[in-house]
Structure 1
Amino acid sequence: MNKDEAVNQLGASAPGWSSLLQPARLRAALCANDRLKLYLSVLQAAAAHAHAPHQALLDLAREIAAAGIGVREQAEWLHDLPATAALEGEAVRLPELPRLAAQLREDLGQMARPLLAQADADPALAERVGDWQARLQALAEGASLLDEALLRDLTSGQPEAGDSLHRLVMDLHKALNRLAARLASDNVAGAHAWDLAADGSDRPRVEAFMRGLARTRALKGEHPGLDTAATREGARLMIQNDIGTNDAHVIVLQVDTGGAAPSISLTYSDLHRQRFAFFQRLLAEVGAQWGPTQSRQTPGLNAGEAYHVGSARFAPADEAALQLMLEGIGERIVFLIDWNRARKRLLPFVDKAAAVAVLDATARQRVGHLAWLTLGGERLIWNAMAAQGPSAFRLGDRLDEVMGEDAAAAFLVEALALADRARAQAQPPALVADQVRTLLAQRLQGRHGGFEDLAEHAGLCHAMAQGLRDALAHGHDRDAAAAAHLAARAKTWERQADHLVMRARSQAERYPQWQPLLRLLEQSDDVADALEEACFVLGLRAEQAGSAPAAVRDALQALADCVLGAVQDHLKALTVAATLGQRSDAADRDEFLGASWRVLQAERHADELLRTARRALAQAARSDPDPVALTLGNELAAALELASDALLSLGYGLRERVFQRLDPGNA
């Protein structure tokens, strides 16, 4: 006889005793809720197995344990039940369906009991419970066939599918949460609590969870949610948070202190797979070890939507670590509220992966997305884009198409952070709109200047110049394998450089402001082409037998050193140019001019070195008249000198672009 039944027998005829039953009945109802959700999961797993018998069965062991089913025979029966399902026509034959229906009926009554015992019990809810108990009774006494309509009536969580047992369970769960708030005999840092451990050990644990929740609670603004209830069941402290308003979006923590070491078990349910994965990543930061995610999805049901449930386990080393984990869990829950709505509202600007990455980044920064949604969401971004004028964005343009994927994502992260700071400082929405508009203008100025793409292209040129210089320094002009490897890598780098040019060309066809960037990138691509050709010729030279004279090697080495130095100075000039503006200080301008001037001087020096190399090759031909070696040596030197010529042209173009930006008349 359990405590609930004992109290019931003692006080059946005594007025007011029924109130003593409520905490125990409420705990029993919450446990029944866990079992009901498990039974529905078993039903869907059985249907899935019947339709795809060759696929591996879902392992429900973790779900069964989380539901508190400790009787081995009962646990084994539920675990093995899906394997007994088989198709019979268009229906599923499930031999144990009547027994499962009886279990559903029993636990539905257990779950509804504390609610229906209230003087102000909802008659509509009571009627739904009665209707479903009658249906389940008929099912328990009937055949073992589960057709698609019956499965939908039992397991659907979608409002458009009509009432279902699953939706009734969710509605009962919400009502139980409200009842728990009314019955709570204590308030622990904002959590409704009752029947906590008499020795006071539960309070600091609940306080730790609520401390984390309070740290980020303000991020949700006026959005409802985050109500918490806590109670004790045997050796377990149970903490439940309702997250937001979604019926199927619930977190339950069980803190077990009955063993040798404390542990935390967390059960999480969510309608959205991507948000589930997001929460898994968040909780991994505080030590969550997740089991398999069980999807409540059956072909043809719920319009393709899934209801997902998973469990995580935390293994703290001691009490202090346990409280830190509870605090970390509480701190991260707010980022789940309206997460999927925020993800969808980012999709007009970036692709799906980038939208998730933006929300990951804002959660890590503890700024969230709810303030952005409250202040207009996508309208803030659309208005900022429109304010840039038609030369920057045209109707239908995506942010990442104009700015590039990484730059667009970085801008969105910063825009969401601006919105959150505005919330914290109670700034007016108009000011936030101006800040986002200004931020976008600043980001576009950098993109339209082209220095990011130019720097990426110059980095590829530098890789080729460095590889060529090092190859000559280490004698790879006599190592065919090493030289061939360099030539292959140079070809890859040259193709990547070509891709940058092609992307800029595509943008320039649509946006006039990209034309200056395109011209500079095309000049930079001449450098890449010349360096890739030099690497190729080096590979051909390495295939020749014999070794070039020291004078030839020294001349080619000096030429490669000169070109590498020029590329490095070009990179430095680009880095400084990206930060130059009308208010830049004199030191920055002098640094840019010095670096760009050295690029121009390198071309003159390369001309002299080319002649030195040709002279050395001609002298070498007198003692070893090998026309192939002579030709390839000359071509290698010419390709290096051609790279310096291209750098000269690029340097002049970059200087002109920077001078235009510094000229107030071009502002």
Structure 2
Amino acid sequence: MLKKQAVASLGHRGLLMPVWVKAALAANDRLKVYLTVLQASALRAAHPDREPPDLSNELRAAGLEAAGWLHDMPAAASEVDGTLLLPELPALVSALSEDLAVMARPVLEACTDDVEPHARVGHWQDWLAGLKGEQLDRAQLRSLTHGQRHGDDSLHLLVMDLHKAINRLSAELASEVIDGAHVWQIDEADRACIRAFMRGLNRTAPLKFDHPGLDTAATRDGARLLLQNDIGTNDAHVLVIQVEDRHISLTYSDLHRSRFAFFQAMLGPLGGIWSGVESRQTAELNEGKAYTVGTVRFEPETDAALEATLEGIGARIVYLIDWNRARKRLLHFVDKVGAVAVLTAAAEAEAGHMGWLKAGGEHLIWQAMQDVDQGAFRIGDRLDEVLGAEGARHFLVDVLVRSSEALRRGEPAALLADEARMLLSRMVHQRGAGFDLLEEHAAWCHALAQGVSDVLLLGHDGLRDAAADLAARAKAWERRADHLVMQARQEAERRPRLAPVVQLLSLSDDVADALEEASFLMGLVADHHQQGWNAEVRQALSRLAQTVLQAVQEHVKALAIARTLDHASETNDTDAFLAATWNVVRAEKQCDELLRHARREILRSVHDAPALMLANDLALSLELASDRLLAAGYALRALVLDQSAKGA
């Protein structure tokens, strides 16, 4: 007779509850693996061309590595007229029935026979007993695997509900509490691991504020320490950790595939290796809403590394609570990738998103957008359309971090709303009503100027090939610069305040046109039209091109400073901006002198008519670029001074 049976025969059934709970937790792990294998088998049968998933780690974590029939079941599955054929179905049904009884026992023993769990468990035991043969139709498959609360019951839902009930029993059974974790029947050596996990959990747990969740239970099952955390209120949102001989196995389940991927990324720095995750995304089952399960293993080499890994895992769990709700709210302002990036950055800053949700969430942002400078936003505008993708993400992360800090300090919501409005106003100003477009356009001008200057620095032998290559690339660069001007004009139709930017971009585009013309003329060198271009001619043209390049660089510098200037800017910043613009003026005057010098050298050295015309036109195009750059520089100064005056 087993020990637990002996205790039961003596009438001390209450003493068995910890044993039953341990057995139930192990049965829960096995039941989830059975259902996972069943889903993988259905997917393999529907798509026989796909490789069956490797579930070795999941089987090993549940103690089922010896069950070869489970490992082979997906490969042996097939489908005929919508019916799933499984040669190992009788063995699977038997395993489901046996472990369902083991899992349900502590829950049923804790309540009277007339309450719901008894009838529900009895129904599914009878239902499993009625499955005969090696076939499952679609309705039967759905009854086993679906996780939808609004509809018929399923074995999957029962397993999830029993698991939650067992977690509650675990807390009641705990013989002690270690840093908030309910524990029982552990070894002395387990305490360090439990404390490490709870150290990380407790460090970030305040970020959930009054949201339920993060209850932790710990016990020992043979050679394994078990740590379980219920995360939140979601049915399928459970995390189980097994620790054995410095090996950590973490099994995580989630109804939202995107949140699962987020948690994978969050655990990445800890060095875990995941297995079988993609095969859990079974869109063909449960209308594409089947929960995702995965197992990640960590192999720390020292006790210190073991505790650091457990602490790191514990610290990251809070960011899963209401993650999908926060992601959906952020989609009002950025795209899907941007929303995840914001949540990731907020988690890495140990701020999270719950503070933002409690402070008003999307309404906090909408109010700031409504109150910011008139004309910056119009109805229907998304935040990243005005600030750009990076600017919008930066602003949202800042708001999430400040929301968390403000709520933890007990500051009023009105103060947080003011901070959000001021931050957005500053971002809009730094965006400079289109400074991203201006800087990108200036970058293409710089590429053109750099290309001409680099080619002219080459010796006679390499000049021809480099000139041909430059002419081809320059045309594409100039087209991209043109596209930015068209983009600005389209945006200005929606936001009239961008009109000064369009004007400045148009002037800057004249610079690009002149430099592209210079690049084209350089391309004619490839056609042997540079007869008589001696070292003095090339040097004169090169000095002219280098001066134009320096002027473009000063213009780029002025733009970078200008986007941050306002009436409250430091004197050093203002001086640096003015110095950069005056350097453009000086460069233009220098180009006038260099053009005259180049003409003297060309007329003195070049006697071939085509070569003379080519050299002269090239010099004129470079000097014209400096003239156009001077006009753009004056327009930039006027724009900045006007914005500063309005800000004052």
What TM-score range do you get, normalising by the shorter chain? over 0.9
Shift of 1:159: 0.9
Specify the SS of the correspondent of 2:577. Answer: helix
CA distance, structure 2, for counterparts of residue 267 and residue 560 of structure 1: 63
Among candidates 91, 97, 100, match of residue 83 of structure 2: 91
State the match for 1:404 in structure 2.
388
Among candidates 257, 262, 268, match of residue 252 of structure 2: 268
Q: Deviations over 1:178-228 (max 9, x none)?
A: 00000011211110111111xx11101100000000111111111111111
Q: Deviations over 1:545-570 (max 9, x none)?
A: 76611221121011012111211221
CA distance, structure 1, for counterparts of residue 318 and residue 14 of structure 2: 34
State the match for 1:563 in structure 2.
548
Which runs of structure 2 are paired with 1:1-400 in the superposition (5 Å)? 5-14=2-11, 17-70=12-65, 72=66, 75-119=67-111, 123-139=115-131, 142-197=132-187, 200-257=188-245, 262-296=246-280, 298=282, 301-388=285-372, 391-400=375-384
Specify the SS of the correspondent of 2:305. Answer: helix
Q: Deviations over 1:25-53 (max 9, x none)?
A: 11110111111111111211221122111
Cα pair 2:55 2:275 within 8 Å, conserved: no
State the match for 1:514 in structure 2.
498
CA distance, structure 1, for counterparts of residue 120 and residue 274 of structure 2: 36
Q: Deviations over 1:332-370 (max 9, x none)?
A: 111111111111111111111111111111111111111
Q: Deviations over 1:7-30 (max 9, x none)?
A: 32244133xx21221111111101
CA distance, structure 2, for counterparts of residue 331 and residue 76 of structure 1: 37
Cα pair 1:115 1:121 within 8 Å, conserved: no
Cα pair 1:380 1:436 within 8 Å, conserved: yes
Structure 2 letter corresponding to 1:219 = L
* Percent identity for Structure 1 against Structure 2: 54
CA distance, structure 1, for counterparts of residue 590 and residue 4 of structure 2: 100
Q: Deviations over 1:463-486 (max 9, x none)?
A: 322232222223378433323333
Q: Deviations over 1:232-253 (max 9, x none)?
A: 1121111111111111111111
CA distance, structure 1, for counterparts of residue 430 and residue 518 of structure 2: 33
1:289–1:297 CA distance, 2 compared to 1 (3 A) = closer
Structure 1 letter corresponding to 2:145 = T
Q: Deviations over 1:610-659 (max 9, x none)?
A: 2222222222233xx2x332222122212211110111110110111122
Specify the SS of the correspondent of 2:467. Answer: helix
Which runs of structure 2 are paired with 1:434-583 in the superposition (5 Å)? 434-475=418-459, 478-544=462-528, 548-583=533-568
Using the size of structure 2 for normalisation, the TM-score is 0.96
CA distance, structure 1, for counterparts of residue 437 and residue 377 of structure 2: 19
Shift of 1:61: 1.4
Cα pair 1:448 1:513 within 8 Å, conserved: no
Q: Deviations over 1:130-178 (max 9, x none)?
A: 0000111111xx2322111111111001112321000000000000000
Structure 2 gaps, min length 5: none
1:212–1:474 CA distance, 2 compared to 1 (3 A) = same
1:391–1:10 CA distance, 2 compared to 1 (3 A) = closer
CA distance, structure 2, for counterparts of residue 496 and residue 195 of structure 1: 69
1:364–1:636 CA distance, 2 compared to 1 (3 A) = same
Specify the SS of the correspondent of 2:250. Answer: strand
Cα pair 2:7 2:16 within 8 Å, conserved: no
Cα pair 2:432 2:563 within 8 Å, conserved: no
Cα pair 1:239 1:253 within 8 Å, conserved: yes
1:32–1:461 CA distance, 2 compared to 1 (3 A) = same
Cα pair 1:11 1:18 within 8 Å, conserved: yes
Specify the SS of the correspondent of 2:54. Answer: coil
Farther off after superposition, 28-37 or 38-47: 38-47
Structure 2 letter corresponding to 1:656 = A
Structure 2 letter corresponding to 1:252 = V
Cα pair 1:296 1:307 within 8 Å, conserved: yes
1:480–1:397 CA distance, 2 compared to 1 (3 A) = same
Structure 2 letter corresponding to 1:507 = E
1:148–1:476 CA distance, 2 compared to 1 (3 A) = farther
Specify the SS of the correspondent of 1:136. Answer: helix
1:639–1:125 CA distance, 2 compared to 1 (3 A) = same
CA distance, structure 2, for counterparts of residue 336 and residue 404 of structure 1: 27
Shift of 1:389: 6.1
- After superposition, the CA RMSD in angstroms is 1.9
Farther off after superposition, 640-649 or 174-183: 640-649
Shift of 1:582: 1.7
CA distance, structure 2, for counterparts of residue 122 and residue 475 of structure 1: 97
CA distance, structure 2, for counterparts of residue 249 and residue 110 of structure 1: 22
Specify the SS of the correspondent of 1:248. Answer: coil
Shift of 1:498: 2.7
Q: Deviations over 1:418-457 (max 9, x none)?
A: 2111112111111111211111111111223443332332
CA distance, structure 2, for counterparts of residue 397 and residue 83 of structure 1: 51
1:78–1:374 CA distance, 2 compared to 1 (3 A) = same
Farther off after superposition, 213-222 or 481-490: 481-490
Farther off after superposition, 434-443 or 175-184: 434-443
Farther off after superposition, 445-454 or 39-48: 445-454
State the match for 1:628 in structure 2.
610
Q: Deviations over 1:575-629 (max 9, x none)?
A: 332332223344433332222122122222212222222222222233xx2x332
CA distance, structure 2, for counterparts of residue 584 and residue 400 of structure 1: 25
Are residues 1:616 and 2:605 paired?
no
CA distance, structure 2, for counterparts of residue 46 and residue 661 of structure 1: 65
CA distance, structure 2, for counterparts of residue 476 and residue 201 of structure 1: 78
1:546–1:195 CA distance, 2 compared to 1 (3 A) = farther
Shift of 1:513: 0.9
1:63–1:122 CA distance, 2 compared to 1 (3 A) = farther
Are residues 1:422 and 2:406 paired?
yes
1:589–1:380 CA distance, 2 compared to 1 (3 A) = same
1:30–1:657 CA distance, 2 compared to 1 (3 A) = same
CA distance, structure 1, for counterparts of residue 595 and residue 304 of structure 2: 71
Shift of 1:388: 2.6
Structure 1 letter corresponding to 2:264 = Q
Farther off after superposition, 156-165 or 467-476: 467-476
CA distance, structure 1, for counterparts of residue 278 and residue 29 of structure 2: 14
Farther off after superposition, 395-404 or 332-341: 395-404
How many residue pairs were aligned?
647
CA distance, structure 1, for counterparts of residue 443 and residue 278 of structure 2: 47
Specify the SS of the correspondent of 1:99. Answer: helix
Structure 2 letter corresponding to 1:222 = D
Q: Deviations over 1:230-282 (max 9, x none)?
A: 1111211111111111111111111111xxxx211111111111111111111
Using the size of structure 1 for normalisation, the TM-score is 0.93
1:241–1:325 CA distance, 2 compared to 1 (3 A) = same
